[in-house]
């Protein structure tokens, strides 16, 4: 076999290149993290849904699991004994004020059920806190968009965590292997991708970015918890879990 044919055969049998970035760009991360059929939406200025193939879903799960193993080591290396992990029964309430906690998980919405909790506050600017000790694996600030009659309703020009999330972030919890997602924050996040945070650490402040910019949708924190489960016919896909019990109990533990 000629050297050229040997090279071709080697390339054909070689495994795909591995991702060496510890923290992929937020769009790449969200494609692994979000629902099975969301390959492009909502990462651009226009909403476009591009269904994923079965191979894309399986590869995404494998890639995310490989990253999780590295994030656990990253957390241990930086937290040491000074930042313990956080079991469910020790979660910190995600706001510094009590607010109005709704158990609206799975409420019907246009486009599908609401797989999150909303916590409303009387005034914007309430401090958002991390319920767990973990690693910030995705973040986006300085969202540019809004809602107006003149521009045809909701509009988006860029930045933030995503088009509809607005300013927000995602924390990986090494204790549970789950992800905590915070959306609609004000500009000026207090943490960024790669930060290791302690339970109770300040993350940002409640705002009205993303689709919360629409009239009547502001003054609340959108909070999601996901962990690996069964979805799209694949084991290990991130699926939403109702965190209401843990969040409610954390609220009860707050000092009046």
Chunked into runs of 10 residues, the chain (256 residues) has average pLDDT values of: 38 42 92 77 70 89 96 95 94 97 74 81 96 98 93 90 94 97 98 97 97 86 95 91 95 86
Q: Is residue 125 part of a domain?
A: yes
Domain at 183, CATH number: 2.70.70.10
Contacts of 57 (CB under 8 A, 6+ apart): 36, 232, 234, 237
CB 190 within 8 A of CB 198: no
Q: Is residue 201 part of a domain?
A: yes
Distance CA 186, CA 171 (A): 18
| Burial of residue 251 (number of CB atoms within 10 Å: 0-12, 13-18, 19+) | middle
Q: Is residue 30 part of a domain?
A: no
Q: Is residue 121 part of a domain?
A: yes
Q: What is the pLDDT of residue 11?
A: 33
Q: Is residue 58 part of a domain?
A: yes
Q: What is the rounded end-to-end Cα distance, in angstroms, of the chain?
A: 78
| Burial of residue 122 (number of CB atoms within 10 Å: 0-12, 13-18, 19+) | exposed
Q: Is residue 123 part of a domain?
A: yes
What is the domain range of residue 94? 54-252
Q: What are phi and psi of 100, to 5 degrees?
A: -115, 105
C-alpha dist (Å) from residue 233 to 174, 196, 239? 25, 33, 12
- Dmax (CA) of the chain: 78
Q: What is the pLDDT of residue 63?
A: 95
Q: What is the pLDDT of residue 160?
A: 95
CB 121 within 8 A of CB 220: yes
Distance CA 40, CA 246 (A): 32
pTM (2 decimals)? 0.89
Contacts of 108 (CB under 8 A, 6+ apart): 114
Q: Is residue 230 part of a domain?
A: yes
Tally of domains in the chain: 1
Q: Is residue 49 part of a domain?
A: no
CB 49 within 8 A of CB 41: yes
Overall size of the chain counted in residues: 256
Angle between helices 54-79 and 26-33 (to 10 degrees): 110
CB 193 within 8 A of CB 136: yes
Q: What is the pLDDT of residue 111?
A: 64
């Amino acid at each position: 076999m000629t050297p050229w044919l040997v090279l071709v055969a080697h390339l054909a049998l070689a495994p795909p290149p591995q991702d060496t970035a510890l923290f992929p760009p937020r769009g790449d991360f969200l494609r692994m993290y979000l629902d099975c059929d969301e390959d492009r939406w909502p990462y651009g200025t226009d909403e476009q849904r591009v269904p994923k193939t079965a191979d894309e879903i399986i590869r995404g799960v494998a890639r995310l699991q490989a990253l999780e193993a590295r994030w656990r080591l990253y957390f241990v290396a930086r937290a040491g004994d000074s930042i313990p992990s956080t079991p469910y029964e020790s979660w910190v309430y995600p706001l510094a004020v009590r607010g109005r906690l709704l158990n609206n998980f799975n409420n019907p919405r246009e486009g599908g059920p609401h797989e999150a909790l909303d916590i409303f506050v009387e005034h914007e600017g309430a401090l958002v806190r991390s319920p767990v000790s973990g690693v910030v694996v995705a973040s986006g600030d300085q969202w540019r968009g809004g809602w107006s009659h003149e521009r045809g309703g909701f509009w988006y020009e860029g930045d933030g965590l995503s088009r509809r999330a607005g300013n927000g972030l995602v924390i990986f919890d090494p204790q549970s292997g789950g992800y905590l997602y915070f959306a609609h924050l004000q500009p000026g996040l207090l943490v960024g991708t790669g930060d290791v945070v302690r339970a109770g650490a300040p993350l940002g402040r409640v705002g009205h970015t993303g689709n919360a910019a629409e009239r009547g949708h502001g003054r609340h924190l959108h909070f999601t918890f996901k962990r690996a489960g069964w979805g799209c016919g694949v084991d290990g896909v991130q699926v939403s879990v109702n965190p209401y019990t843990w969040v409610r109990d954390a609220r009860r533990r707050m000092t009046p």
